[in-house]
């Protein structure tokens, strides 16, 4: 974390490393975070009950010296990448958890990619070694193939065998974290100046108002000081640590829950101490305006394949970063293989697939794309949850395909600077199929509820099942509201519709309506 510390060199002290725990689902991230916290509960002052405030600090003895480590207490890399996408880096180091009875899985690789993109060193925790079927040697071998080479094989990554559940070798893991931080990071901070740092998480508490867990990155934060945190401001009324104790000051790498803010800031937003609350309010207002302007500008400078092409012509871009998502692993592999063979007619440009996976496009995919300036290619898959919203906000381009050669052709053409796509897809809305009526004359009639936007009679539609596309580019044979034909039906209303040339619908499927709109040129 570089914040351009200033001041006297004698004021600089070593600060604890800030660590994120990442890994595949069910490999034990939550259990590990619990085990580490519990092992250190004695460190909390008497009477303190550990609380989840989004981060906690523990201490451990390494080579005879008492050392502290800060853990970000949100398992998974969501927090990590959300913060990176905002341009602030929360963590210095990542612990990659891999279950010894399972092995390297898609999210293990995803986590690895996130750590690489952030440029942070990793420590591998081989978990669940208490299980009889645990095979730690296999894990070492698998990760070696991904370029993560254990120290014992001549590499520079520490692998530690643990059991989060049986609490085996947690201390060994903490030691590895400290040793890795010492070997590859220069964690110095000036604790004397005014505090700066980032927001880890924040929410509105019914009794206490806006509550934000902050991480001090330099300087010392004290109760009574005025701060600006994202668009929020206020005087620090109280600070609470992970044991529920009130504290009066927080030094670099210390997480603390802060009370007294005017609003709820966003995770990853920065905070700083200012002279007084009047100044804090002014800065907060300016910041909010700037953020709004930046967001609009970002929307405008949305990086697309076409932009890439344009910057290539100016001799700027070297690499086109892609994230591939497909409905089955075969299609993702086929796409990647085909992309590897794309001839862009020169060595100056290259395609780099930074992540790939099976299933719907998630917010995590979008975060990684935003953090590494990548374009997401969805093959027979759709975005999930708030992924579309996030992509819009972050200016990440998602392109959808259902035919491999089409995807390849477009990317190839874009790289060669020949592509002039004139249309792009715009989603109109979605309707959920609640019931199906079989009519011998009309075919299967889908009784729907429009859950988003609208369904238009002459729009193109697709059928979505569990986030995957089961049929695309279809036309409607009819659209009715009650007994009448309708040109369109809006959100919140029921409708009956029949698809042209597609009858294989199920209750719970979604019908998505879309249209192709012309891309404004120039």
In eight-state DSSP terms, residue 254 is: -
Q: By CB under 6 A, is residue 52 in contact with ligand GDP? A: no
Q: How far is the CB of 383 from ligand GDP (least distance, A)?
A: 23
Q: Single out the residue of 16, 17, 28, 136 in contact with ligand GDP (rule: CB under 6 A).
A: 28
Q: By CB under 6 A, is residue 37 in contact with ligand GDP? A: no
Q: By CB under 6 A, is residue 249 in contact with ligand GDP? A: no
State the binding string over 165-184 for ligand GDP (x if CB under 6 A, else -). xx------------------
Q: How far is the CB of 214 from ligand GDP (least distance, A)?
A: 24
Is 29 annotated as ligand-binding?
yes
Q: Single out the residue of 1, 17, 18, 27 in contact with ligand GDP (rule: CB under 6 A).
A: 27
Is 135 annotated as ligand-binding?
no
Burial degree of 414 (CB within 10 A; 0-12, 13-18, 19+): buried
Q: Which two tokens stand for residue 321?
A: 């970063």
What is the three-class DSSP state of 25?
coil
Q: Which two tokens stand for residue 174?
A: 């903490």
Is 74 annotated as ligand-binding?
yes
Q: How far is the CB of 48 from ligand GDP (least distance, A)?
A: 24
Q: Which is nearer to ligand GDP, 88 or 91 (CB)?
A: 91
Q: Is the dihedral of CA 230, 232, 233, 234 positive or negative?
A: negative
3-state secondary structure 452-492: EEEEECCCEEEEEECCEEEEEEECEEEEEECCEECCEEECC
Q: CB 286: neighbour CB atoms within 10 A?
A: 12
- The answer to whether residues 35 and 18 touch, using CB atoms and an 8 Å cutoff, is no
Q: Which is nearer to ligand GDP, 32 or 377 (CB)?
A: 32
Q: By CB under 6 A, is residue 399 in contact with ligand GDP? A: no
Q: By CB under 6 A, is residue 490 in contact with ligand GDP? A: no
**Strand-by-strand arrangement of the 398-401 sheet:** 350-358, 319-326, 375-379, 398-401
Query: Among 20-28, 321-329, 403-411, 432-440, which window interacts with ligand GDP (CB under 6 A)?
Result: 20-28
Is 73 annotated as ligand-binding?
yes
Q: At what angle do helices 106-118 and 78-85 cross, to 10 degrees?
A: 30
Report the Cα–Cα distance between both ends of the chain, in Å, rounded: 39
Nearest residue to 202 (alpha-carbon basis) of 276, 270, 291, 252: 270
Q: By CB under 6 A, is residue 364 in contact with ligand GDP? A: no
Q: How far is the CB of 130 from ligand GDP (least distance, A)?
A: 5
Nearest-angstrom CA–CA distance, 264 and 230: 9
Q: Single out the residue of 127, 157, 362, 380 in contact with ligand GDP (rule: CB under 6 A).
A: 127
Q: Which is nearer to ligand GDP, 128 or 399 (CB)?
A: 128
Strands 443-456, 494-499: pairing is: antiparallel
Q: By CB under 6 A, is residue 382 in contact with ligand GDP? A: no
Nearest-angstrom CA–CA distance, 110 and 50: 31
Q: Which two tokens stand for residue 453?
A: 């936007």
Q: Which is nearer to ligand GDP, 165 or 222 (CB)?
A: 165
Note the Cα 516 to chain centre separation in Å.
29
State the binding string over 67-106 for ligand GDP (x if CB under 6 A, else -). --------x-------------------------------
Tokens 């890795």: give the residue. 180
Q: By CB under 6 A, is residue 230 in contact with ligand GDP? A: no
Q: Single out the residue of 15, 17, 22, 29 in contact with ligand GDP (rule: CB under 6 A).
A: 29
Q: Single out the residue of 11, 43, 130, 491 in contact with ligand GDP (rule: CB under 6 A).
A: 130
Query: Among 157-165, 277-285, 365-373, 419-427, which window interacts with ligand GDP (CB under 6 A)?
Result: 157-165
Is 210 annotated as ligand-binding?
no
Query: Among 19-27, 104-112, 332-340, 509-517, which window interacts with ligand GDP (CB under 6 A)?
Result: 19-27
Q: By CB under 6 A, is residue 494 in contact with ligand GDP? A: no
Sequence-ordered list of residues with C-beta below 8 angstroms from that of 189, at least 6 positions apart, any chain: 3, 5, 12, 13, 15, 217, 218, 219, 252, 253
Nearest-angstrom CA–CA distance, 72 and 54: 6
Is 77 annotated as ligand-binding?
yes
Q: Single out the residue of 90, 91, 107, 163 in contact with ligand GDP (rule: CB under 6 A).
A: 163
Q: CB 306: neighbour CB atoms within 10 A?
A: 17
Q: Which residues are annotated as a binding site?
A: 23-30, 73-77, 127-130
Q: Which residues are annotated as a binding site for GTP?
A: 23-30, 73-77, 127-130
Question: Which residues contact ligand GDP by CB under 6 A?
Answer: 23, 25-31, 75, 127-128, 130-131, 163-166
């Amino acid at each position: 974390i570089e914040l351009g510390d200033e001041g006297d060199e004698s004021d600089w002290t070593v600060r604890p490393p800030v660590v994120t725990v990442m890994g595949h689902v069910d490999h034990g991230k939550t259990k590990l975070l619990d085990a580490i916290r519990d092992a250190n509960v004695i460190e909390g002052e008497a009477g303190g009950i550990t609380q989840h405030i989004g981060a906690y600090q523990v201490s451990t003895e390494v080579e005879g010296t008492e050392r502290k480590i800060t853990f970000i207490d949100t398992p998974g890399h969501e927090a990590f990448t959300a913060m990176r996408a905002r341009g602030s880096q929360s963590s210095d180091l990542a612990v990659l958890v891999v279950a010894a009875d399972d092995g390297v899985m898609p999210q293990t690789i995803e986590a690895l990619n996130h750590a690489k993109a952030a440029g942070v060193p990793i420590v591998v925790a081989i978990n669940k070694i208490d299980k009889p079927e645990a095979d730690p040697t296999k894990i070492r071998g698998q990760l070696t193939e991904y370029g993560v080479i254990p120290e014992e094989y001549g590499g520079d990554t520490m692998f530690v065998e643990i059991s989060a559940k049986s609490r085996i070798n947690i201390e060994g893991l903490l030691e590895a974290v400290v040793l890795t931080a010492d070997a590859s990071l220069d964690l110095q901070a000036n604790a004397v100046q005014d505090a700066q740092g980032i927001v880890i998480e924040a929410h509105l508490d019914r009794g206490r108002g806006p509550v934000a867990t902050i991480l001090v990155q330099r300087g010392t934060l004290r109760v009574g000081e005025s701060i600006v945190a994202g668009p929020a401001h206020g005087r620090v009324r109280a600070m609470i640590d992970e044991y529920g104790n009130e504290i009066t000051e927080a030094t670099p790498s210390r997480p603390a829950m802060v009370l007294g803010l005017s609003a709820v800031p966003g995770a990853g937003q920065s905070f700083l101490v200012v002279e007084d609350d009047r100044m804090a309010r002014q800065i907060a207002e300016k910041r909010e305006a700037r953020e709004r302007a930046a967001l609009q500008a970002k929307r405008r400078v949305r990086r697309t394949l076409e932009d890439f092409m344009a910057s290539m012509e100016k001799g700027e871009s070297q690499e086109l970063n892609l994230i591939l998502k497909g409905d089955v692993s075969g299609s993702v592999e086929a796409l990647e293989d085909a992309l590897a063979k794309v001839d862009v007619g020169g060595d100056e440009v290259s395609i780099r697939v930074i992540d790939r996976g099976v299933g719907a496009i998630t917010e995590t995919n979008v975060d990684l794309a935003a953090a590494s300036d990548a374009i997401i290619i969805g093959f027979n898959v759709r975005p999930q949850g708030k992924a579309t919203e996030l992509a819009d906000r972050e200016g990440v381009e998602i392109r959808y395909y259902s035919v491999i050669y089409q995807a390849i052709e477009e990317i190839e053409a874009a790289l060669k600077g020949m592509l002039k796509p004139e249309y792009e897809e715009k989603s109109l809305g979605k309707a959920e199929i609640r019931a199906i009526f079989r009519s011998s004359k009309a075919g299967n009639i889908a009784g729907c509820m429009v859950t988003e936007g609208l369904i238009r009679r002459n729009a193109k539609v697709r059928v979505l099942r569990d986030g995957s596309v089961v049929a695309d580019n279809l036309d409607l044979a009819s659209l009715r509201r009650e007994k009448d034909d309708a040109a369109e039906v809006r959100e919140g209303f029921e409708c009956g519709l029949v698809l042209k040339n597609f009858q294989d619908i199920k209750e719970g499927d979604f019908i998505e309506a879309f249209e192709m709109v012309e891309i404004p040129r120039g």
